[in-house]
Amino acid sequence: MKKINVGMVGYGFMGRTHSNAFLKAPLFFDLPFQPVLKTLCARNAERAKAFAANWGYESVETDWRKMIASPEIDLVDIASPNDTHLEIAVAAAKAGKIVMCEKPLGRNAAESEKMVKAVEKASVPNMVWYNYRRVPAVMLAKQLIDEGRLGRVFHYRAKFLQDWTISSELPQGGEGLWRLDSKVAGSGVTGDLLAHTIDTAMWLNGGIEEVSAMTETFIKQRKHSLSGKMQKVEIDDASLALARFRNGSLATFEATRYARGHKALYTLEINGENASILWDLHDLHRLQYFDHRDEGLTRGWKSIHITDREHPYMAHWWVPGLQIGYEHTFIHQVADFMAALGNGEKAAPTFREAMATEDVTDAILNSAASRKWVKVRKRPGNE
């Protein structure tokens, strides 16, 4: 197996999910390339060393430019806060490295566009970590839709609900809390959570034509962790959108960090003329499926336990009946990416496809600000 040396930027939550994925993918999948955890790059040298030692990185760097310049690095993986994505991705592409980037790609579609241009100009393989596409149950939903089992789709309904920012005492900015700082994050829940629901939606149900949205910032001022001063909160705490898909179906999308009791409740439901599908991240190894063509006497919602060998990805894991979880979605992403690399193909979502998601999230923010319906441009990923 040929080796691919990974240079990882970032050691937060996503640094952990990605590192784990690079380590595990070749153990469970037959891959043409073996990712090697070569260099961990982060600003705090002590913490970077501890992270690198724990995950088995061979070296540590505090300057990502130096890491990118190293001929030893083949693949740059960006798992640092959103405001760093653009600069690192462009530099990595210019240096001819493979680039993987945590979502959202940029802080807005304009930043993403620069990243797309950079990777395409350099012709380097690229991918964005929209991991929920690779939950086996969601992959099965895609299969059922592509087989035409739902028939004409009427409705798409998605929510991503959390509750971790309800306290007004929670500061904004700094490590762990940069998602609340608009300068670093770009937007609030629209880019962080709603973006996941939009990515999955366009993958499952095609392009989105127009949106009408509202957003709210419930807590207007928070102390900034770095300055220690009270500052205006400029992110959206909640984001609700109506959307019309290009196939004529209607959608509602909702994301919030103010749904007390919900920690990461991502649910999606699709209603077609023949069948409906329902999925819930808190129960991620099940797909709820209703088929109106079943015989009347026993017709009803099925709860499919996604653990059989014929289910997507499951032949690589344990034995039927034993389920897998969240971390596996990232492992699948690495496995698919390495397999595509071996075949000279692209693994989705590419930077270009992820930019299409940001067209929609930008349109949602614009609609909320203007209180008008906003059309979304047609391009790859949104057709």
Q: Which residues would be at the binding site for ligand SOE (CB under 6 A)?
A: 13, 162, 192, 196, 264
Q: How far is the CB of 255 from ligand SOE (least distance, A)?
A: 10
- Residue closer to ligand SOE by CB (options 13, 318) is 13
- Residue closer to ligand SOE by CB (options 35, 81) is 81
- Residue closer to ligand SOE by CB (options 111, 192) is 192
Q: How far is the CB of 326 from ligand SOE (least distance, A)?
A: 8
Q: How far is the CB of 96 from ligand SOE (least distance, A)?
A: 28
Q: In what order do the strands lie in the sheet with 2-9?
A: 59-61, 33-41, 2-9, 75-78, 98-102, 126-129
d(CA 127, CA 345): 12
d(CA 187, CA 256): 12
Q: Which of 249, 232, 192 is nearest to 364 (CA)?
A: 192
- Residue closer to ligand SOE by CB (options 36, 189) is 189
User: Is 276 in contact with 290 (CB distance < 8 Å)?
Assistant: yes
Helix (H, G, I), strand (E, B) or coil at 201: helix
Q: Which of 163, 182, 187 is nearest to 231 (CA)?
A: 182
d(CA 338, CA 27): 13
Q: How far is the CB of 136 from ligand SOE (least distance, A)?
A: 17
Q: Is 1 exposed, middle or buried (0-12, 13-18, 19+ CB in 10 A)?
A: exposed
- Residue closer to ligand SOE by CB (options 166, 250) is 166
Q: How far is the CB of 87 from ligand SOE (least distance, A)?
A: 20
Closest residue to ligand SOE using C-beta atoms = 192
